[in-house]
Amino acid sequence: MTFLDRAKGFFVDLPKPLSAFQIASNYLTGVQLSPKDRKIKNFFMLFLDKGIIEPSFYQNNIKKRDHLSKLFDREMKKFPLTDRRVVFVLPELSQKAYVLPFDKFPTHSKERDRLVRFRVKKLLPLLPDDARISYSLIPTESQVRVLASVVRASVVKEYEDFFGRFKIKVRSVGIPFAGLVNLIGNEEENVMLVNIEEDAISLVGITFSKISLYRQKSFVFESFDEKSLKQKNDDITLEIENTINFIEDKEKIKISTLWVRTGLQGDRDGILSDLTEKLSIQVKGLDSCLPGNLVPNEKRLLSPLIGHIQ
C-alpha cells in the first residue's frame, strides 16, 4: 500500500464526517456532503479582511473573534448541518510538519511516540509542553519514514471553542497539504505538490508514490499590484526550483509533474503561467482533479476540504 493509498486516514478518523470547515488568514470555507453518495451537497466561501485571523504555531490565531462569529453565523444560516460533528482544517502556519527517516522503528506504540517526540524536539528545541504530535508511517525498501505533524493544544482549543459557540463539535483536525495529497492519483510516481496561501507556501515531494519531503515557508502578499505579484511569483518559482533540484539530487529521480493549488484572492492564473514558462516539467492546477460541477475558483478554494472528507 502506497502513501497515497494511506493518506486518507492521516489525522482524520474513519468514518469521516459529512462536513468540514477550513480557516486561513484570508478565507473561511465550508463543505457538506450528501450522506447517500458523499457528493457535494452544499458549500460556502467567505473571504476575510486582513487581521481577523493571524495564523501562528505559537500564538492565538483568532484576533477578532466577535467579527468572525458574525460572519460565520450569517453563512451557517444558509448551511444547515444534519450532523454537527465536523472536520476542521487548520491554517498552514498553525502547524509544523516533518518527514523523519528511521533505519529502525520500534514496534511498541509508546516507544514510537517517545522516539518521534524526541526527533521532533531536535528540530524544534523550544517545543511547547502542550504540543500534540500526530504521525503516519511510510515504509520504504531501505528505511521507515514518519510524517509527523505538530500543533499546539491551545491553538486547537481556540478553534474548537469558536465552533463550540455554534454547537459544532470538531471531531478531527486536518492540515491542508494532507487533504491535497489525497486528490492526486497514483498514476504518477514522482511529483511535487505546492500549496500557495496568502501567507505561506508549502511543498510536498512524492517519490515512488510515497511522500519524501515537506517544506513550509512564510510568504506574505502585501499587495496585488503588478510589481508585487511579479516579485512574489519569482520568489515562489525559485523556491519550487530549488526544492525540485534537492529532491532529484537526493532521490536520484526526475520529478515529472508539479501540482499547484492556490488560496489567493489575486492572480492565480499568473502564477500558473509563470511556473509553466519557467519550469521544464509539466505544471497542473490541482483543481483539474475535482468534480466538473464546480467552477475553477470554487475548486481551488475548497480542495483541501474535499480531499479530507470525500
Residue 224 in contact with residue 260, Cβ under 8 Å? no
Query: What's the total number of domains in the chain?
Result: 3
Helix axes 226-251, 268-278, angle to 10 degrees: 50
Residues 37 and 168 in one domain: yes
- Name the strands in the sheet holding 96-102, side by side, starting at the edge strand that comes first in the sequence: 96-102, 144-152, 131-139
Whether 10 is in a domain gets the answer yes
Rounded-to-integer distance, Cα 198 and Cα 186, Å: 29
CATH number at residue 83: 3.30.420.40
Other CB atoms within a 10 A radius of the CB of residue 154 amount to: 14
Residues 137 and 269 in one domain: no
Q: Is residue 182 one of the residues assigned to a domain?
A: no
Partner residues linked to 28 by β-bridges: 23, 46
pLDDT of residue 274: 85
Residue 308 lies in a domain: no
Give pLDDT tens digits along the chain (310 positions). Answer: 333 433 434 444 456 899 999 999 999 999 999 988 989 999 999 999 999 999 999 999 999 999 999 999 999 998 989 899 999 999 999 999 999 999 999 999 999 999 999 999 999 999 999 999 999 998 888 889 999 999 999 999 999 999 999 999 999 999 999 999 999 876 568 999 999 998 999 999 999 888 999 999 987 666 556 666 677 788 889 999 999 999 999 999 999 999 999 998 765 667 888 899 889 999 999 988 887 789 988 999 999 999 999 8
Domain co-membership, 128 together with 12: no
Q: Strand 191-196 vs strand 200-207: parallel, antiparallel, or unpaired?
A: antiparallel
Give the count of beta carbons closer than 10 Å to the beta carbon of residue 91: 25
The answer to whether the beta carbons of residues 237 and 252 sit under 8 Å apart is: no
Same domain, 232 and 102: no
CB 282 within 8 A of CB 257: yes
Let me know whether 50 and 192 are in one domain: no
Residues 161 and 26 both lie in one domain: yes
Domain presence at residue 207: yes
**pLDDT at res. 239:** 93
Count of C-beta atoms within a 10 Å radius of residue 246: 14
Within this chain, do residues 211 and 278 fall inside the same structural domain, yes or no? yes
Spell out where 175-249 has E strands.
Answer: 191-196, 200-207, 210-218
The answer on 162 and 145 residing in a single domain is: no
Task: Please report whether residue 296 resides in a domain.
Answer: no
pLDDT of 184:
87
Q: Hey, what's the cell of 137? A: 508511517
Residues pairing with 103 in the sheet: none
Q: Which domain holds residue 222?
A: 187-287
- For residue 297, tell me if it sits in a domain: no
pLDDT value at residue 187: 58
SS (H, E, C) 265-303: CCCHHHHHHHHHHHCCCEEEEHHHHCCCCCCHHHHHHHH
Question: Does residue 271 belong to any structural domain of this protein?
Answer: yes
- Contact present, 174 and 92 (Cβ < 8 Å): no
Give CA–CA dist 218/235, Å, rounded: 11
Q: Residue 299 domain-assigned?
A: no
Say if residue 223 is in the same domain as residue 159: no
Give yes or no: residues 81 and 200 share one domain.
Answer: no
pLDDT of residue 224: 59
Residues 12 and 31 in one domain: yes
Q: Check whether residue 261 and residue 220 sit in a common domain.
A: yes
